[in-house]
Chains A and B, each alone.
Chain A
Amino acid sequence: MAELALSQELDERLLHLLGALETLQGKRDEFNSRVEQGWFSLSKSRFAMGCKSVSALQYGAHMEPLVRVCASQGEGGQVAFQVIPEWNPSTEAAEGSPSVEEIGPQDQVLRQRKGPGKTAAPGPPLGPAPKSDSQRGALSQDPLTWFGILVSQSLRQAQNSFKEGILLAGEIASLQSDIEVTQAQYRALLERKRQLLAREG
């Protein structure tokens, strides 16, 4: 009976391992595809902006990470990695801040062509739309700004590809941890089964 229970547990671990390996392969293919797209876009941006304009020489002197990883350990010892990006557009939408900065007076006012006496003085100017600190910070920290004020669309595409790749990297890291833990569990169960068979035999 104990042997049967052990064999069933071994089968379950094996099936879980094979499933995780299959999922890992799919995620890896997706990740590799994103990264290759990113390289292609980087090459296109070099073609558009110049070879020397997109290189390690342009890296910022000060960098703040816009992506972090939270690692949480599960019951079996496997570690789940969750990538937390600080570029999340849903956060910006929730705050209601406009994505495009509007400058100038909010209301239509008459232009004073001939001095202040000829036309009514405009009301007190309204301030620009308030930005959250995080949005202001994120804009100033955007690595795209290292490469100039006007960057090519290819460079933005490269950034998007690599951002997607980073999210996939977190999932791959979680799967790898799951696979390692499952392997260890499988080996331990196999050893127990061998010892049991040796005692009975």
Chain B
Amino acid sequence: MAGRGKLIAVLGDEDTVTGFLLGGVGELNKHRKPNFLVVEKDTSLTEIEETFRSFLAREDIGIILINQFIAELIRHVLDGHTRSLPAVLEIPSKEHPYDAARDSILRRARGMFTAEDLR
């Protein structure tokens, strides 16, 4: 499986996960854990964090798609992830539009320049 390329994992609300599974990213069989998690109102923060960390640790996942409102709940984990693989993409949800100011990648780009640096 690893020779054929890596997987795309999804952490999101039901609509987001359903949509991307329709797109064909899902993997689920009796031997392997799924590469997606549907986050509902009663999904615990521990489960979200553990699932995200497990996706980060898996070598067969290349991209992780995560709703931004879920990313906010585990921001400390995202900010600590500085490796190139897997890439983490924060995506909007139906009730929470995408806010570039909250994106971990773009926040690192912001504030990188001062007047002193540009002299």
**Is there a chain B Cβ closer than 8 Å to A63's Cβ?**
yes
Please give the number of chain B residues whose Cβ is less than 8 angstroms from any Cβ of chain A in the complex: 43
B27: contacting residue among A54, A64, A190, CB under 8 A: A64
In angstroms, how far is the closest chain B Cβ from the Cβ of A14? 8
- Distance of A87 Cα from B5 Cα, bound (Å): 15
Pair A183/B112 contact, Cβ less than 8 Å: yes
Q: Is the CB of A28 within 8 A of B98?
A: yes
**Chain A residues positioned under 8 Å from B8 (CB to CB):** 65, 67, 69, 83, 166, 169
Most buried by A among B27, B38, B62, B100: B62
Decide if B14 touches A65 in the complex (CB within 8 Å).
no
Binary flags per residue of A20-63, CB closer than 8 Å to B gives 1, else 0: 01000100100110011011001000000000001110011111
When C-beta atoms are compared, the residue in chain A nearest to B112 turns out to be: A183
A173-B105 contact given A68-B4, A162-B22, A183-B112, CB 8 Å threshold? no
Q: Count of chain A residues with Cβ under 8 Å from any Cβ of B?
A: 61
Q: Does B89 contact A (CB under 8 A)?
A: yes
Contact flag A190-B14 (CB < 8 Å), given A63-B29, A77-B84: no
30 A-B pairs within 8 Å (CB atoms) are namely A28-B98, A32-B97, A35-B91, A35-B92, A42-B15, A42-B19, A55-B18, A60-B26, A60-B28, A62-B28, A63-B21, A63-B29, A64-B27, A65-B7, A65-B26, A65-B35, A67-B8, A68-B4, A73-B84, A78-B84, A79-B84, A79-B85, A81-B87, A159-B23, A162-B22, A165-B23, A169-B8, A170-B63, A172-B89, A180-B105
A-binding residues in B (CB < 8 A): 4-8, 14-29, 34-35, 38, 62-63, 65, 84-85, 87, 89, 91-92, 94, 97-98, 100, 105-106, 108-109, 112, 117
Mark A residues whose CB is within 8 Å of B: 17, 21, 25, 28, 31-32, 35-36, 38-39, 42, 54-56, 59-71, 73, 77-79, 81, 83-87, 141, 143-144, 155, 158-159, 161-163, 165-166, 169-170, 172-173, 176-177, 179-181, 183, 186-187, 190
Q: A79-B87, A87-B24, A170-B63 are in contact. List 4 more A-B contacts (CB 8 A).
A: A42-B18, A143-B22, A166-B24, A173-B89
